[in-house]
Structure 1
Amino acid sequence: MTAIENRRPATGVTLDAADLTRCRRRIHLDHDPASAAEPRALPDPALEQRRADAGEHRVRVGAQLAAAAGAGWVTVGPSGRIETTAAAVAAGAPMIWGAVVPDVDGAGRRGGAELLVRLPEGGYVPVIVVRHRVTDPGEGAVTSLLEQPTPRRALPDATRRIRSQPRDMLRLAHLNRMLRAAGWAPAPGVRHADHGGVIGMDADVVLWHDLRSGHWPGGRSTLTEYDARFADRTAVAVAAATGAPALAAPSRVTECRRCPWWPTCEAALESAQDVSLVVRGETAVALREAGIGTVAALAALDPAVEPPGLLPGMPFADVVSLARAWLRGLSVVRRVPRVPVLRADVEVDVDMESFGEGGAYLWGALLRHTHGALPGDEPDGYRAFATWDPVPTDDEARSFAEFWGWFSGVRARAAATGRTFAAYCYNEQAENRWLLGSARRFAGMPGIPTVAEVQAFIDDPCWVDLFAVVGEWFLCAHGKGLKRIAPAAGFSWHDPEAGGENSMRWYRDAVGMDGAPPEESQRLRLIEYNADDVAATQTLRLWMTSPAIEDVPLASDL
């Protein structure tokens, strides 16, 4: 056997790096022959589109890197990729694009790197290309110029800090183990031998990770974390493939929303009334360990006594109330008789639309003068501030400046006329990110506020996150998303397909991103969708402060 051959895995299964961050039950179903006939979700068009976008991003980055590398560049073609990669390694090629690494030791790994970079002492370190952001403004990240993708050229970056992306680090560790088993890694002890690089969405630098540094809970290194996860996922897969007792049972987690196996798991969980239908993650695990495996068993507990063991997350009484609400088919119950929501003379509901991490293309605002407008006031109603140039684009500066100028003017007029002002959004994390990001990115351009101005607004109590209000004063048995909670207040969207994932597809058509002419109808559809979102937040807070809220059962009465 030569070093370029794949040995048959001793375990009988193979895993790629993505398996290390997936649900353990998904790993089981992926490898269980008996699952072949089980129901699966239809292919997700949004996911397929993201994959296509990521592929195009890799092609663009590869062309930039190849142009900078010149004669030291080798591209692995679509066929015979392991053999071509091995030949390039044997020849000592400085950079190998599209590399596929063999599973020489039969550990059951499969994978490849967008780029392998040779160190001066010999051996290769991996660089991967991803279509998400890998750094945030700050300091401390170690980066090299895109045109110099080697850890030997990397320096601490005074303008960036690492954005946590566990999937990237585990993929680099996966490749590190494969390269070492193949004999293609730098010798142990060589400087940067256990480093890996990531080129993110902005594709302006290479971010370098030391895989032996303790970035994980308890000070564990990425390689240590990887080895534990790989051993665990391999055991789950082997048990499934061989018909041994399953090592992973169904349990509802965040990943379920996009998992192809969700119809299978959902049916099993509903049939069993599994406790994870009410509480997810570590709380569900802790309850099962305490012998509370069903919603009915949880609902039967006395919320006034000590919980059955240490439960992470929400208070035990709330957990019991959620179970009782779920059994009664209630989506929302109150924690308190009266729900405190800041109200004002002048109110603005705000919602931002972004295209992934590309940019914020639309700021929508719904103005309401609670006690009637004064002469000179802006008229009540909805306004959209948009750019239809594909993001990222400098035209975002114009639309954002127009939004901020209008918004600040409304706020200033309220103050000048002795009236109170409040602005509302649903889950401020997104809006705050793009408010600050736009101020930083377009600093100095006409109408752009300073970062300090934006931060002062974000810190002001007048900026109200209704998602936080709902989380504090309500228990939601089926989730706290706006699309889940607003119907309880009597609101419905005009578009039956309204949703964040669908809006991505509409946006592509609206700006002609795929080469087709831009569709005006999709632009109008996006504006209507945004108008409905701000109308939903307005309806929600009016409902929470109206007598109608008394129709919502109190958790203490369940």
Structure 2
Amino acid sequence: MARRKEAAALHRARVHDLLRSIHSDEASATFVTVESGPREDRVAATLAAARAGARWIWNAALPDDPLDRRRGHSELLVHDGIGYLPVIVVNHRVTRPASAGNGNGDGPRAITTSPLWAWLPMPDTTRTMRPNRRDQQRLQHLTEMLVAAGLSGERSTGQWRAGVIGMDADCIAVIDLGAQREDFAHLTYERLAIVDQLVATAPSRIGECADCPWWKQCEAELMVRDDVSLVVNGSVTTALREHGITTIGALAALSPAQEPEEWHSGSFPDAIAAARCYQTGSPMVRRSTTAPIARADVEVDVDMESFGEDGAYLWGTLLTDRTDPDRPVRYRPFVTWRPLPTTAEAESFAAFWAWLQEEMAHAHARGKTFAAYCYSEQAENRWLRGSADRFAGMPGIPTRAEVDAFIASPQWVDVYAAVSSNFYCPKGKGLKRVAPVAGFHWRDDEAGGAASMDWYALAVGMDGSAPDESQRTRLLQYNEDDVRATKVLREWMDSDAVTALPTMRELLA
């Protein structure tokens, strides 16, 4: 969490420097930066900048709204000729490149974006939006604060807009808020009623509970009630309660044949399975009698490590030649310890790609089949493509077409997809959830994506201190354990040991 906050702060600082540079040739009152300090000073400075006619106000703090009990700040306020609109800066991507079309002869659907140098919302067919509910709610919140402060101007429904500057910081993604204002007002009043204890409430587990400081207290109450939300997600919980199914015991006692009419909340048999797994402690259930996964003569397990959005510094590999028992199963990392972002990343990626292609060609030349495996290909695919794009033309870097061809080939296998197809996993399908079922355990009890961020910062001396060699070793061991876990899991799936797990049919019988 601390590392994410630091990364977000650094991103905001970069965007501020970029915008200040863009507007540096304009009158000094056009782009105004509110200095950090006590909140009341920032509010006063924001209002003063607005009265002076600033077109862009950075680090804006808005007056509290006592009526609706709102407080907030916006990284940026932009005057659109009517009044001020909020623009927030977030440390995630808000748009993605648009695809060529939908296959029906239609072009990509246009979204609205504005350049960074002026508020000029225009249709944009080069990008598609990545909706984020939290971003939209924050923008609605800030919009209502601007209204309360008298800064928004008089607008028609279609003129209520806001913006988001994402990780790429190459445009402002424009969000239309007018049609949602009434719904947001209802949501606000519902939440205030809950705060004022005008509405009876009871705990129910949702995704956000994992990060809530009150979770332990709520969990204890839910366990006493045997509450169904402990085993299914929020939408399924709501649907079950609407049909009078409120406890895990009641859900577990049902059969798939008792599925309610007009059930539209996921798989009803899976919900029953979740309840029965909770009662029996089963970590995984087979969906069929077998658990097929592609195998090859020469197999390479791959795991990539990245540092936020700055790049991929490590490609770890584990090669197994099933036709040659004398060839050692060897972990081989391709890594750079120069702090990201750096062009040294291109060198390690090029070395990884060349080695992978050589092993593939070597296997094929000897009449052997070849396959490379990863666990949840989304991250690896993103950095495979991203590395090809960012370092295009540098020595050893494959073209985007070559990377796409490899990703689309049967020689690139996603073990996560095989787990999803073959198993029901009531506690999640993450590698650290399912690999222990196959008998694998990580050497480092703290191993995980969030922890690796802190280790990396120490390993490269990101704060200016000397690089910590012990953290480099720790990262390499963590990466090696990930590729070994992938290997153990997929081999277990292809063995008779997997039959020790119950099948879904047996569980639901």
Q: Do the structures match in fold with TM over 0.5? A: yes
Tell me which residue corresponds to 1:35. none
Q: How does 1:20-39 map to 2 (within 5 A)?
A: none
Map 1:223-242; keep pairs closer than 5 Å: 223-225=178-180, 227-239=182-194, 241-242=195-196
1:170 aligns with 2:170: no
Distance 1:458 1:68, change over 3 A: closer
The separation in 1 between residues aligned to 2:125 and 2:237, in whole angstroms, is 42
1:197 and 2:188 matched: no
Work out the CA distance in 1 between the residues paired with 2:165 and 2:467: 30
> Residue 164 of structure 2: SS of its match in structure 1?
strand
For 1:137, the aligned partner's letter is P
Partner of 1:76: 34
Q: Gaps spanning 5+ residues in structure 2: where?
A: 99-107
SS at match of 1:424: strand
Deviation at 1:527? Answer: 0.9
Of the candidates 343, 354, 360, which is equivalent to residue 306 of structure 2?
Answer: 354
Deviation at 1:254, TM superposition (A): 2.3
Equivalent runs, 1:100-499 vs 2, <5 Å = 100-103=61-64, 106-119=67-80, 121-138=81-98, 140-146=110-116, 148=117, 150-152=118-120, 154-157=121-124, 159-188=126-155, 193-203=159-169, 205-211=170-176, 222-225=177-180, 227-239=182-194, 241-247=195-201, 249-303=202-256, 305-312=257-264, 314-372=266-324, 380-499=329-448
TM alignment of 1:499-510, pairs within 5 A = 499-510=448-459
Name the CA distance, whole Å, in 2 between partners of 1:529 and 1:553. 31
Q: Is the 8 A contact 1:151 1:195 kept in 2?
A: no
Give the C-alpha shift of residue 245 in structure 1: 3.6
Q: Aligned pair in 2 of structure 1 residues 357, 269: CA closer, same or farther (>3 Å)? A: farther
1:158 Cα deviation from its structure 2 partner: 5.9
Structure 2 CA distance for partners of 1:252 and 1:182, relative to 1, 3 Å: same
Deviations 1:12-55 (A, max 9, x none): xxxxxxxxxxxxxxxxxxxxxxxxxxxxxxxxxxx133223322
- Give me the whole-angstrom Cα distance separating, in 2, the residues matched to 1:434 and 1:300: 46
Asked whether the equivalents of residues 439 and 449 of structure 1 are also in contact (C-alpha less than 8 Å), the reply is: yes
1:499–1:84: structure 2 CA closer, same or farther, 3 Å change rule? same
CA contact (8 A) 1:123 1:184 kept: yes
Q: Is the 8 A contact 1:290 1:309 kept in 2?
A: no
The number of equivalent residue pairs is: 490
Q: Distance in 1 between matches of 2:111 and 2:355?
A: 37
Structure 1: distance between partners of 2:479 and 2:420: 23
Deviations 1:181-231 (A, max 9, x none): 3221243259x943323222233x2323141xxxxxxxxxx4443542442
Structure 1 distance, partners of 2:185, 2:454, is: 35
| CA shift for structure 1 position 369 | 0.8
1:554 to 497, 503, 508: 503
Structure 1 residue 275: Cα displacement? 1.6
The CA distance in 1 between the partners of 2:191 and 2:124, in whole Å, is: 40
- If the length of structure 1 is used for normalisation, what is the TM-score? 0.82
Aligned equivalents of 2:132 and 2:91: distance in 1? Answer: 12
Separation in 1, partners of 2:404, 2:69: 49
Which fold has the larger relative contact order, with Cα–Cα distance below 8 Å and residues 6 or more apart in sequence?
Answer: 1
SS at 2:23 equivalent: helix
Aligned-pair CA distance for 1:280? 0.9
Instruction: Give the alignment partner of residue 538 of structure 1, picking from 484, 487, 491.
Output: 487
Distance 1:118 1:262 in 2: 42
Q: Given the superposition, is the C-alpha separation of residues 482 and 395 from structure 1 closer, same or farther in structure 2, using an over 3 Å criterion?
A: same
Normalising by structure 2, we get a TM-score of: 0.90
Please name the residue that 2:101 is paired with: none
Supply the distance in 2 between the matched residues of 1:348 and 1:94 (Cα, whole angstroms). Answer: 55
Asked if the contact 1:346/1:414 (under 8 Å) is kept, the reply is yes
Which consecutive residues of structure 1, in runs of 5 or more, have no partner in the other structure? Answer: 1-46, 212-221
